[in-house]
A and B are shown apart, each in its own frame.
Chain A
Amino acid sequence: MPLLDLAGTQVEVDEDGFIQDPASWSEMLAAALAKMEDVENLTEDHWKVIKYLRTYYQQFGIAPMVRKLCKETGYDLKAIYELFPSGPAKGACKIAGLPKPTGCV
């Protein structure tokens, strides 16, 4: 697996830049990952989504249903795409340190 120099630490990522060890995630790392997903600055709106994703992931071991993410955070899908141009699965989940989604996602 390639190593990536993020926020001053060497982090193992897969071919698409998803971090391999969810435990290596930190807020500083999220900011570094965000830059790769065309998110220049993480605003309060971004953090609301990221924190919800992490909380759900820690409880259930997978990302929430997209509709649930929208409902719980109060952002519709369009707003999520404005926050994370590469979308909820590939953009927001990557920044939140979740594993790469598999299957038809």
Chain B
Amino acid sequence: MADSPSSQSSPMTHHKYSYHVENAGEGNHRAEKFLSAFAAILRHSNYRFIVELFARTTARCGRCAASCQVYQASNDPRDIPCYRTQLLLDVYRQYFTSSGQFRSRILGEDALSEAKMDEMAECFYRCMACRRCSIDCPLGLDHGLMTHLGRYILSEAGIAPKGLVVSVREQLEGATANTSAIPLPALLDNLEFLKDELRETKGASVDFPVDQENAEYIFFPAVSDYLMEADTLMGNAAVLHATGTSWTIGSQYFDGINYGLFYNDWILERIIHKLVGEARRLKAKKVLVGECGHAARSARQFVPTFAGDQNLPVVSVLELTWQAVKAGKLRLKPGVITERVTYHDPCNIARSGWIVDQPREILRSFVSDFVEMNPHGRENYCCGGGSGLVSLDETHDFRMKVSGKTKAEQIRASGAQIVATPCANCKKQLRELVDYYKLPVQIVGVHDLILRAVEL
């Protein structure tokens, strides 16, 4: 857009959606691309059976409206989960079922319009794919999966948030091979710094091993932790040190993030291959994922799917720490944390029930004043920035006023002074909520608190 008028007051350009998109203009054969991508996905994946089932069963009873925090805050009917799912199912019925094609011909229904494309592009990015509505759906529909499929097809038609696309490009094709574009020398410098900090604050020599072959675990945190979350990483390393665990960081690939989970299946698969490739290069026995909800879920769920005969177990650092606490291998001093603490469940690890009790048992073992938000665990409310939205600064207003409103109210009602949450995405969103709603709390990782209490 070299011909854009310059402006002293604002550098912002006009944007079609509530997020930035690279080269997605109208008249770009978007609808045709959307339909051909949809057709290919239905032909070459198992989505056909799911979409067909959803198309037959969805009753639009609206029960999901009551469980969706976005709709509760916005009161916009477009935010009701089954309404959003219907957008995609309408296209499916009209173009990919014989009755729909027949009906379409008889009634002369319009082809997939630009307006409908725009509506899908907007609606599928007003959902955090938190899947809270799936708990309450009487027919067992997973609207989060439909959001994912809708985004997948849109991305094949060229519509995907620039913030995610640019990060993935660097991770898959860039020189640094990670979403935050951290060069290896900077990573090594950070690790040296963390080591010095641990020596200064804990008086212990804790190592951050790099490229150690045959380690028990190869460690993949959300790579942004290496810029933003020093205390979380030091807490992780302190636990691994205290338990005598053999572990390593891979110099060629050290990012746990997988934005493919948010918008595109084949990208998800390619990122899994990179992670597994690095684990195999260093002959690690297991993958250890740091404090990050979507990184943990994407690896846990999809390493077995895509790694084939290279498969290896995936463990969350919360599981490892919990095992150590249970086995009495970790000395966490009670009385160090005097503040009132609550725990925020990242949707990607809590909704399925995978990691709900473990962090609570860890925290309760050394935090004397632990309180719960209501609801919590499997029925938690999302931070309001899930499914990649938090990485899109331009969605800030929506995340504060609409999607994160319920969470802010919950945090305030808890009376907690500290919210511990093991997810880079949630931490960032919650800190922005704290700032926006002037909440008197501090947002930290679970291992940040462990770091304060651990005896080395």
- CB A76 to nearest CB in B, in angstroms, measures 13
Question: A66-105 interface mask toward B, CB cutoff 8 Å, 1 = contact, 0 = none?
Answer: 1110000000000000000000011000000001011111
In the complex, whether A65 has a CB less than 8 A from a CB of chain B is yes
Pick from B41-49, B163-171, B235-243 the stretch touching chain A: B163-171
Please name all residues of chain B whose beta carbon is closer than 8 Å to the beta carbon of A39 when the two chains form the complex: none
Chain A contacts of B230 at CB under 8 A? 65-68
Whether the pair B167, A102 counts as a contact (CB closer than 8 A) is yes
A101 to B7, CA, bound (A): 24
Look across to chain A and name the residue whose beta carbon is closest to the beta carbon of B169.
A102
Closest to A6 in B: B8
**Binary contact readout B1-26 vs A (1 if CB under 8 angstroms, 0 otherwise):** 11010111001110100001000000
Q: A5-B6, A5-B8, A15-B20 are in contact. Are A101 and B227 (CB under 8 A)?
A: yes
Which residue of chain A has the shortest Cβ distance to B226 in the bound complex? A65
User: A65 near B185 (CB under 8 angstroms)?
Assistant: no
Smallest CB-CB separation from A70: which chain B residue? B230
Cβ B4 vs Cβ A103 within 8 A: no
Report whether B223 and A103 are in contact in the complex, using a CB–CB cutoff of 8 Å: yes
Stretch at the interface among B55-63, B94-102, B360-368, B390-398: B390-398
Residues of B close to A62: CB separation below 8 A:
180-183, 186, 227
- Distance between Cα atoms of A104 and B393 in the complex (Å): 10
A28 at the interface (CB under 8 A from B): no
A104 touching B222, Cβ below 8 Å: yes
Name the residue of chain B whose CB is nearest to the CB of A67.
Answer: B230
Binds A, one of B103-111, B122-130, B140-148, B189-197: B189-197
Is A13's beta carbon under 8 Å from chain B? Answer: yes
The number of chain B residues touching the other chain, given as a range, is: 35 or more
Selected from B1, B179, B182, the residue in CB contact (under 8 A) with A1 is B1
Taking a contact as CB atoms closer than 8 A, the residue among A5, A15, A64, A103 that contacts B391 in the complex is A103
Q: B4 touches which one: A2, A36, A89 (CB < 8 A)?
A: A2
C-alpha gap A17/B1 in the complex (Å) = 14
With beta carbons under 8 angstroms apart, the residue of A17, A66, A103 that contacts B11 is A17
Say yes or no: is B421 at the interface (Cβ < 8 Å to chain A). no
The interface residues of chain A lying within 8 Å CB-to-CB of B11 are: 2, 4, 13, 15-17, 36
Complex contact B257–A68 (CB within 8 A): no
Interface members, chain A 2-23 (any B CB < 8 Å): 2-6, 10, 13, 15-17
Tell me the minimal C-beta distance from B405 to chain A in angstroms.
21
Are A15 and B180 closer than 8 Å at their CB atoms? no
CB within 8 Å for A102 and B6 given contacts A15-B13, A63-B227, A66-B228: no
On whether the beta carbons of B190 and A68 are closer than 8 Å, the reply is yes
Question: In the complex, what distance in Å separates the CA atom of A36 from the CA atom of B9?
Answer: 8
Most buried by A among B1, B11, B20: B11
A17 to B13, CA, bound (A): 10
B212 on interface, CB distance cutoff 8 Å? no
Q: Among the listed B15, B167, B193, B390, which residue makes an inter-chain contact with A15, where contact means beta carbons less than 8 Å apart?
A: B15
Report yes or no: A61 in contact with B1, Cβ–Cβ below 8 A: no
A60–B180 CB distance below 8 A: no
Contact indicator B393/A66 (Cβ below 8 Å):
no
Q: Nearest-CB distance from B314 to chain A (Å)?
A: 19
Are the CB atoms of A102 and B181 closer together than 8 Å? yes
Q: How far is the CA of A96 from the CA of B189 in the complex (A)?
A: 21
Contacts of B166 in A (CB 8 A): 102
Known contacts A103-B257, A104-B428; can you find 16 more A-B pairs with CB under 8 A?
A1-B1, A1-B2, A2-B6, A6-B8, A10-B6, A15-B11, A15-B13, A60-B186, A63-B227, A65-B227, A65-B228, A103-B224, A103-B255, A105-B180, A105-B228, A105-B391
